[in-house]
Amino acid sequence: MTAPRHFLDLDRLDGVTLRRILDRAVAMKRDRDAFRDLLRGRTLAMIFEKPSTRTRVSFEVGMRQLGGDPVVLKQDDMQIGRGETIADTARVLSRYVDAIMVRTGGEDRLHELAAHASVPVINGLTNESHPCQIMADVMTFEEHRGPIAGRVVAWSGDANNVAASWVHAAVRFGFELRVASPAHLSLPPALLARAAAEKGRVVCVEDPAEAVRGADCVVTDAWVSMNHMGVEKQARLDSLAPYQVNDHLMGLAKPDALFMHCLPAHRGEEVTDAVIDGPQSVVWDEAENRMHAQKAILAWCLEA
Q: Which positions are annotated as active-site residues?
A: 103, 130, 133, 221, 262, 290
Q: What is the DSSP string of 223-253?
A: S--TT--HHHHHHHHHHHGGG-B-HHHHTTS
Q: Which residues contact 122 (CB under 8 A, 6 or more apart)?
A: 6, 7, 8, 99, 100, 101, 102, 132, 294, 297, 298, 301
CB atoms under 10 Å from CB of 274, counted, come to 12
Closest by CA to 66, choosing from 93, 90, 98, 114, is: 98
Residue 178, classed as helix, strand or coil, is strand
Burial 169-193 (b: 16+ CB within 10 A, else e): bbbbbbbbbbbbbeeebbbeeebbe
Say if residues 122 and 301 touch (Cβ distance below 8 Å).
Answer: yes
